[in-house]
Structure 1
Amino acid sequence: MLKIVKAEICDLTNSNLESIYNWRFKEYRCFFATEYVPSFQDHKEFISKEIKENSVSWFFGYFQEKIVSCCCIEKRSHKINSDRFTMILTRVMVNPRWKRKGFARQTISHGIECVRRNREKYRVVLEVFNTNSNAIKLYEKMGFVDTQSKGRMRTMELRHD
């Protein structure tokens, strides 16, 4: 069973951070628009800063006591209507050995639910590369619909029924 936690500083072990670094900059590199790859230390500091400042919520999925998935959700309040906010889903990653097991879906669903608690008015948006067909299929199954396509990217929003 997948155990999902909102990441805290104590979850930022070198092992977890190295796994995410490898997925993000080695396995998923084909999707990046640039060849720039930050150092592991820069990556570690970046994630630590986000968690300390609570600017982005990271969610880690553990299976058999090892990190196998993660995602980030950034909350942005609307300036006009303070009880409504937008959640931006980013950095959805799964260990390549554990793909197609439902871990991405579970991690995303858990993250959205944790962030949106006590808020009725919210929207969830994401951007995905047009070439990432597996991710697009997953997002569509979860209820995301296309809202815009520009160049290599498409924007999707979670439909509320």
Structure 2
Amino acid sequence: MPGDPERSDFRYMRGRAQSAAGEELIPRLKPPYSRLTAIDMNTGDHTWQIPLGDGIRQRLIDSGIPDPGPLGGGGFTGPLLTETILFIGHNGARDGASGGPALLALDKETGQTIHAIELPRGGTGTPMTYMADGRQHIVVAFGSGTEAGLIALTLR
């Protein structure tokens, strides 16, 4: 987008994506608004596909619409794959999404959530893993500015 001389001397600035929101901020596009897809790298087939996040689910329920289930939406980190688990950070409630910031552990074969580990702030980087003393650890960067940090978790 064109630069704003009040904010910068750059000719162009990074812009934000505009939503295709309709009435009452309900998107005009059909859900899911974000999804996670597992692809078999040998065949190219989609093994499973799930909506990633709840999106505006709670807003719809609050307005009297029956629970549509997860619609996809919200902010997420990149994925980390282990032999059996897919980890992905969820930035928490945003645009009516339910749930707070969490590190999600999904079954790699099915996409089903195994566990959600609450985080103090939204994840800001792809989770990483390392081995120390024969145990596997997962580290997640969270937050920003003075409210940023790392959380290390140990797998049992």
- The answer to whether TM tops 0.5 is no
Identify, as 1 or 2, the structure richer in helix. Answer: 1
Q: Which has the larger radius of gyration?
A: 2
TM-score, normalising length from structure 2?
A: 0.31
Q: Higher RCO, 1 or 2 (CA under 8 Å, sep at least 6)?
A: 1
